[in-house]
Amino acid sequence: MTHYEKYKNTIKEGVKKARRKRDIWINEYLADKSCVHCGESETCALVFYPDNQEIRIVSRSKGLREKLREPILEKIRTNKVVCMNCRSKIENDIELSPIF
Ligand SMILES: [Zn+2]
């Protein structure tokens, strides 16, 4: 590994950490959830479907007080929790049957 590559990875790690902090309550919400299709329970592999991006953007822009979270939670309730694998299958229109 060159010096530059090492440096680049350090920056990437820093960005990841900052992102994790902002996502912390979303991840706490997902901590006891699992993919509705395959049962994957690894929190970092879980996403909301179909509004994952919107939910995460809004959750980052709002504070953490209960009242501010309520509209996000409402949105979350209309979404399914799936893993990234199943999401790409859904997006590619591959037939999936729910096991839970
Ligand atoms: Zn899955």
Protein residues within 5 Å, CB atom, of ion ligand 1: 35, 37-38, 40, 83, 86
Per-residue pLDDT of the chain (100 residues; tens, 9 = 90+): 677 788 888 878 877 766 666 567 788 899 999 999 999 999 999 999 999 999 988 887 766 677 878 888 999 999 999 999 999 999 987 766 665 5
45 DSSP assignment: G
| Ligand 1 centroid from CA 6, angstroms | 33
Q: What is the pTM of this model?
A: 0.69
Q: Is 81 helix (H, G, I), strand (E, B) or coil?
A: strand
Going from N- to C-terminal start, the domains of the chain cover 3-91
